[in-house]
Structure 1
């Protein structure tokens, strides 16, 4: 690749997670990141709130908004994307699948940065692992329970039909979209709490006790998603924890090591 082409090609960092913020920060530092390698990078996020988490530098740009397949093709061409570092949320499967397809068709280097999963450990929490929300909804897990849902606002409409068979509470991000979705899904204002993570164990415990929760539903979102804290509180209070497993995606290559992700960027800069 010529020097001119090096300057034109950009790295695409699929963001929206705390790990992607950490990666962007690491790459933008003078000690071996984008600032040193001079790799132009475009970070994509879906909300203005997420955009504010990334420090903007001459080589680091942030694009806000969802991308569908048609927009993605235009984005890759306009941005002249030469490599993809996917640090999206473990459950944001649509963007990951589109990125993998695009990388394969365009022969663009792709690396998935996957947050580490939380291991069961030695606590005494009753953890119920389910493959999907549909498995949860089709079963009898929620019936007559006081359920705290920490699953994100997009999943809340799935629980609308359960509002008359269980007492459901939702913890969501403090955004208009999240609150509107919760209300539209049948959650009354006294059964919604809007908090931005991280949530401490003390606050988690207090909330569960205040609402007299008997079952908690969460995603396998790792330490960054507070899964370890929920396991600890569930063990302490003797409350069953339902964990929805991560969707299975066949990533071309992946890592949970920040150093490996940065090395991927360095190798791209030398290609």
Structure 2
């Protein structure tokens, strides 16, 4: 089995390609939407905890290679999974993305979400948050202490929307949509909600960071960009490079 850790469009492409080539592919996804796509592409859902008994269940499933296509801000670096793969002689391939080149007076790089919240609050009273439902608490606090209007764009899943509502975000300020989003769609949404500042993570072109920035700059809206954690020593691959490595080192056997 080839185990693909979902979380990005790259993971979907890898799963779809390997299944199409005839590989037995297992998928581990954090969201209902990710699991639905994995099944749609013919993968076998794997419901396991990455930090509990990893080596044992990798062996039980007969995993030959792990393709880590999680979001650049998730599971970065030498975590337990990578260590278990090395210990059990299992191929581990981390999918990477190019970082965004930030060079504009309206672009404000920061190193963390708490820093992003404080920076955004100093740039405008309506914050359009494009980073999903994680780390909302840093921004929600600003609604009370600094009179900030917070608009969040999240996945259209019931539990995600409910989380936002439970945290005090007005329903009218919850944009429940599934990306990717073009520059035109981003621009229309920023205008519709009268965004004074946009917050995004540096997820690279594949994560739509470029279209968010282009849309915001076209409207002369400042953008706060949360940079990625420190680079890992683990080599990173493009999605197509990972598929090529698997094809070369784990070729399908004739039936």
Q: Which bin holds the TM-score, normalised by the shorter protein? A: 0.7 to 0.9
Equivalent position to 1:156, from 136, 157, 166: 136
Tell me the CA shift for residue 177 of structure 1: 1.8
Report the counterpart of residue 243 of structure 2 in structure 1: 262
Asked if 1:145 corresponds to 2:129, the answer is no
Tell me the CA shift for residue 20 of structure 1: 0.9
Equivalent position to 1:110, from 86, 92, 97: 92
Tell me the CA shift for residue 71 of structure 1: 5.0
- TM score, norm. by length of structure 2: 0.86
Tell me the CA shift for residue 131 of structure 1: 0.9
List gaps (5 residues or longer) in structure 2.
Answer: none
Asked if 1:62 corresponds to 2:42, the answer is no
Asked if 1:236 corresponds to 2:218, the answer is yes
Tell me the CA shift for residue 132 of structure 1: 0.9
Deviations 1:23-66 (A, max 9, x none): 1122223xxx3x1xxx4321211233212223454xx4232x56
Equivalent position to 2:29, from 13, 21, 45: 45
Distance 1:66 1:233, change over 3 A: farther
Distance 1:224 1:79, change over 3 A: same
Structure 1 distance, partners of 2:76, 2:62, is 21
Contact 2:55 2:85 in 1 (8 A): no
Deviations 1:138-160 (A, max 9, x none): x4531452100111102212323
Deviations 1:156-210 (A, max 9, x none): 1232311121221111110112111211222111111111102232222122122
Report the counterpart of residue 17 of structure 1 in structure 2: 8
Of 191-200 and 87-96, more deviation after overlay is shown by 87-96
Please list, as runs of the form range in 1=range in 2, the aligned pairs for 1:117-132 lying within 5 A after superposition: 117-120=99-102, 126-132=106-112
List gaps (5 residues or longer) in structure 1.
Answer: 1-9
Tell me the CA shift for residue 127 of structure 1: 0.9
Give the aligned CA root-mean-square deviation in angstroms: 2.4
Tell me the CA shift for residue 223 of structure 1: 2.1
Distance 1:95 1:77, change over 3 A: farther
Asked if 1:133 corresponds to 2:116, the answer is no
Contact 2:140 2:150 in 1 (8 A): no
Contact 2:151 2:174 in 1 (8 A): yes
Equivalent position to 1:84, from 66, 71, 92: 66
Aligned residues: 248
Contact 1:82 1:109 in 2 (8 A): yes
